Every structure is written in structure tokens, then in C-alpha cells.
Structure 1
């Protein structure tokens, strides 16, 4: 555990971003927005996969002991 992890709960939580007003966006803008969101979802999935792999490697390492 890093030192900063212990103080994570003491930091103010970031405000959730307000949803975008989709009614003012054109079709091309909406498609670009969807592409951006899909890229962010893929980035999050990659981060999850990396964390799971790291956890599995650590568990395998300590089970061998």
C-alpha cells in the first residue's frame, strides 16, 4: 500500500461531470461523441484486464511459497 492510498478517503471526491445536452448536437457530433465514449470504455476495460492480470500474478507468486 502506498502512503497516498491511506489518505485517499480524506481527499474530496471529484464531482461527477454533468451529462451532455444531446439535443443540441448534430448527427456527426453525436457519432463523434459515441466514438469518444467507446474509446474510453475500451481504455477502462484494458485497465481492468491489466489489474486482473497483476492480481493473478501476485496470487500465483504467493501460493507457490
Structure 2
């Protein structure tokens, strides 16, 4: 067991809240473009997770539909 195992997990959405509170005036234009690219990649990852969960749900619904 490591010390990391003993630390509490961050609450869901905390990273997003922290991002929304950051002062964007501190970033250069190139850094803002990099930030946007990283956020767009995260959006794509979230959409893929939604799609995967939706397809699993549809498969489960089809399997257990007794009509």
C-alpha cells in the first residue's frame, strides 16, 4: 500500500471547476490555443465514453427485452 492509496479521491468535476476559475489573462495566445486543443481532445474523449455507454445500454436493453 502506498501513501497515494490513502489519499482521498478528488470529487468528480473538481478539475473542471478549477479550470473555469483560472485567470486566462496570464496565458499567451499560443498557450491558449494549446489549452483549447487539450479541451477539445477531452470533449472528444467524453463523447466517446458516452457513445460506448449508450451502445452497451442498447445492447443490454435488446438482450433483456422480453416482448
TM-score of the two chains, using structure 2 as the length reference: 0.70
In structure 1, the partner of 2:11 is 14
Normalised by the length of structure 1, the TM-score is 0.72
Instruction: Please name the residue that 2:40 is paired with.
Output: 38
**1:20 Cα deviation after fit:** 2.0
- The whole-number CA distance in structure 1 between the counterparts of 2:10 and 2:54 is 25
- Could you say which residue in structure 2 is the equivalent of 1:48? 50
Count of equivalent residues:
55
Structure 1 runs not aligned, ≥5 long? 1-10
Q: Which residue of 2 aligns with 1:5?
A: none
Query: 1:63 and 1:41, CA in 2 relative to 1: closer, same or farther beyond 3 A?
Result: same
Counterparts of 1:57 and 1:33, CA distance in 2 = 36
Cα distance, 1:12 vs structure 2: 7.3
